Amino acid sequence: MRILITGGAGFIGSNLVLHWLQHHPQDHVFNLDALTYAGNLLNLKEVEGNSNYHFLHADLRQPDVVKNIFIENKIEGVLHLAAESHVDRSISGPADFIETNILGTFHLLEAARSYWGNSPDPRFHHVSTDEVFGSLGPEGAFHEETPYAPNSPYSASKASSDHLVRAYHHTYGLNVVTTNCSNNYGPFQFPEKLIPLLIHNCLAERSLPVYGDGRNIRDWLYVKDHCRALDLVFHRGQTGECYNIGGSNEWRNLDVVHLICDLLDKELGRSGDDSCRKLITFVKDRPGHDQRYAIDPRKMLRELKWSPELDFQMGLLQTIRWYLNNQAWVEQVTSGSYREYYRQQYNV
């Protein structure tokens, strides 16, 4: 197949591109990415020489460009991951989230509908988040029928794009599936998100910011387990259906911070007064901070026989070791020097 993966230079996207080329070596993978601050082609350096991998520098906010990509590359399937994704950034600057996550998804849907016509075979897989469901109380978990209740500009923009995808299926018959995942972690995550930020700050002996009292709870999912799930849903999911992908792995934010500190102390030989725990700093809570997320993934297990393979402590240890072994990557993405690589290699 000729597969378009949007946002393929980002965290989850680059892991998915690597997964796809490994597990579907006959497919042609077209990576569409606008190369914003979190998009990094160095994540995909190992596949640059693969004749079935193609990078397309483009912005979903340009509808004519998106339509031409379908025509010129004969796209037969889409996995749509491109999005502005950081809650804090959406609070300080919501416009980019509206333009990329809502209008960008609209332009992609229109391009797919125009190029594929009434064919039932090509598939549009929309990748979303558990944040569209809002905040949970102390009990229960989000399931596929949970009503939407987004509480940030980011989650509201993703909820809107989810509804657009659903509407294009029911109105135009587009072959769509939607997945909503819990918090991902693993290699290639930009160090603004909790886990890589904590690792980076521990190594630099900077403060480890914890919002509020640190009791907010998140469900954590290793990114490679997520990629396996996306592969299954794209190939075997039922048209028009939604699937929740979660790690069944709830942790309080403060407990995650403590675990990262303890694992890093062991890896670095720190203890006592040198422990990373001394860097923990409680900061003012973010506006509209959801208290708890938890995904019910039983539909994935029941229908597609998927469940996460890696438990959180082992996945977190692997992630920490990846960041320790890839400090040059961290330095490049935090300094912005990798953009020179783009300019030289891709003339962007």
Q: Are strands 28-33 and 53-57 parallel, antiparallel or unpaired?
A: parallel
- What's the CA gap between 90 and 85, in Å, rounded? 8
Residues marked as catalytic: 130-131, 154
- What's the CA gap between 235 and 39, in Å, rounded? 26
Distant-in-sequence, close-in-space partners of 104: CB < 8 Å, separation ≥ 6: 59, 60, 61, 82, 83
Q: Which of 13, 23, 14, 11 shows the shortest CA–CA distance to 48?
A: 14
- What's the CA gap between 27 and 21, in Å, rounded? 7
User: Residue 269 is encoded by which pair of tokens?
Assistant: 């030989």
User: Residue 187 is encoded by which pair of tokens?
Assistant: 């290699």
Q: Are strands 217-222 and 250-252 parallel, antiparallel or unpaired?
A: antiparallel
